[in-house]
Each structure stands twice: as C-alpha cells, then as structure tokens.
C-alpha cells in the first residue's frame, strides 16, 4: 500500500477518533458508525470493480473495524470504571454516616481524593437542598449524570 493510500484512511479516522474518544462524547459513536458504513460501501464497491484493489480495501476495512471496536471498548470502560469508583465512594460515605450519624462534608473528609475523582472520572460530591449528592458524568451523553439517591440506595439517571 502506498503512503497516500494510508493517508486517505488515517486522516478521516484521526478526526473521528479525536471526536469520539473523549469522555462524555459517546454520542459520537453514531458519527463513527456512519463513517464506517460509508467506508464499507465505498471499499466493497471498489473490491468488486477492481480486483487489484482488494488487498488495499481489506486493510482499510480492518483498520476501521479496529477503530470502531476501540471506541466502543473505551466507552464501556469509562462507564464501568466511573460506576465502580463511584460505588467505592458511596460505601465510604455510608460507612462515615453509620460511624458518625451524619454525612461527610466532602470526599476528602473520608480519605478520598476528590480532585482526582472529579478530573479522571467526573465524580462529584455535594449537597443539594441539604441532601448529599454523589454524581458522575455519563460516558455517552455529555449533559447526563448518574446521581446516587442515598434515601433509596439506588443510582438515578439525571438528564438535563
């Protein structure tokens, strides 16, 4: 494959990966799917018409499939990691509540690094109308959070 052939694949792929591989931009997956469908149709037609291009087209399709798998895997990873870390924070908050009878003022008060949790995973702890709220950002939609309801003991989706 020539370098120009790689560039024809690498440039649009880099742009789409840049847009899709940011936490909270999982909604970019449909963009990735649309681009994948266009590339697939284009390459299948080229493979049918020109036999000598089959190898190049198969390589391109393989690259796009790998990118698609990467995006889906990252979104699933962010979602699972955020929920797991948030559940650790919930357990620590509830342990503090059982020990002292009141909710902690901050995650730092119970030994968790609030800044790191917020920066890495978007986990925040605050009080709303006197009630504690532990929330984390959805990995798919940028304005959607999951809030932990301490009264019911469940996670609640909170779309804005």
Write out pLDDT tens, residues 114-126. Answer: 988 888 888 999 9
Based on the fold, state whether residues 16 and 62 are members of the same structural domain. yes
Model pTM? Answer: 0.76
Q: Name 158's bridge partners.
A: 145
Based on the fold, state whether residues 70 and 85 are members of the same structural domain. no
Spatial separation of the C-alpha atoms in residues 48 and 5, rounded to whole Å: 18
- Final residue of a structural domain among 74, 103, 133: 74
Based on the fold, state whether residues 57 and 93 are members of the same structural domain. no
- Final residue of a structural domain among 74, 89, 105: 74
- Final residue of a structural domain among 74, 89, 115: 74
Q: What is the dihedral of CA 133, 139, 143, 147, to 10 degrees?
A: -20
Based on the fold, state whether residues 9 and 61 are members of the same structural domain. yes
Range of the domain at 145: 78-159
Taking the CB of residue 50, how many other CB atoms lie within 10 A of it? 11
Alpha helices, DSSP H, located in the chain: 3-20, 29-49, 54-100, 114-121
Based on the fold, state whether residues 123 and 98 are members of the same structural domain. yes
Q: Which of residues 93 and 142 earns the better pLDDT score?
A: 93
Based on the fold, state whether residues 95 and 139 are members of the same structural domain. yes
What's the pLDDT tens digit per position in 32-49?
788 788 888 988 888 889
Based on the fold, state whether residues 70 and 94 are members of the same structural domain. no
């Amino acid at each position: 494959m020539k370098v120009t052939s790689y560039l024809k694949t690498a440039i649009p792929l880099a742009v789409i990966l840049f847009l899709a591989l940011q936490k909270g931009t999982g909604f970019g997956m449909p963009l990735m799917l649309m681009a994948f469908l266009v590339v697939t149709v284009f390459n299948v037609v080229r493979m049918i018409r020109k036999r000598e291009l089959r190898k190049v087209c198969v390589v391109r399709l393989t690259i796009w499939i790998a990118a698609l798998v990467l995006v889906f895997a990252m979104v699933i990873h962010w979602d699972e990691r955020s929920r797991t870390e948030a559940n650790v924070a919930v357990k620590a908050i509830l342990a503090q509540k059982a020990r002292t009878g009141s909710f902690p003022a901050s995650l730092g008060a119970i030994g968790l690094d609030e800044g790191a949790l917020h920066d890495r995973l978007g986990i925040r702890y605050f009080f709303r109308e006197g009630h504690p709220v532990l929330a984390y950002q959805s990995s798919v939609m940028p304005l959607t959070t999951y809030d932990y309801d301490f009264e019911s003991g469940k996670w609640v989706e909170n779309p804005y």
